[in-house]
Amino acid sequence: MFCPQCEAEYREGIYECADCGAALVENPPARDVHPDLELIAVFETADPALLPIAKSVLEAAEIPFYVQGDEALGLLPVGRFATGLTQKGQGMVAIVHVTKDHEERAKEVLTPLESEEQSEEPGES
């Protein structure tokens, strides 16, 4: 048995959600799945200190995002790891993705971080 509002699962014989009081249903509520959701890369960094700032900025702007490679950022000194990460300089790169409808706003709020990332590129003075 499942609550159609808060999606809590209950054992047989219970007919009302203890949390919200809704009548339970036999099957879980259908989730709104978007298999063709287009993600756009809006920010890349090899700096493990800059990534949490980017995440915080997006969260503050209420922009949903996905980060590819944050778990490996800074762990491997060189080379490509079999995770689909790209190499930037001598380290791994974390790539922040948003949906197409959030692309413009995400790029706008991340612009100050882009200039910070570029100023730390090796070989620039």
Q: Which residue has the higher pLDDT, 57 or 116?
A: 57
List the one residue out of 21, 10, 73 whose CA is nearest residue 44: 73
Fold of the domain built from segment(s) 39-119: Alpha-Beta Plaits (3.30.70)
* Across 38-60, average pLDDT: 90
DSSP symbol at 46? S
Predicted TM-score of the model (pTM): 0.56
In this structure, the number of other CB atoms found within 10 A of the CB of residue 86 comes to 13
Boundaries of every domain in the chain:
1-31, 39-119
Helices (H), the chain: 51-60, 103-119
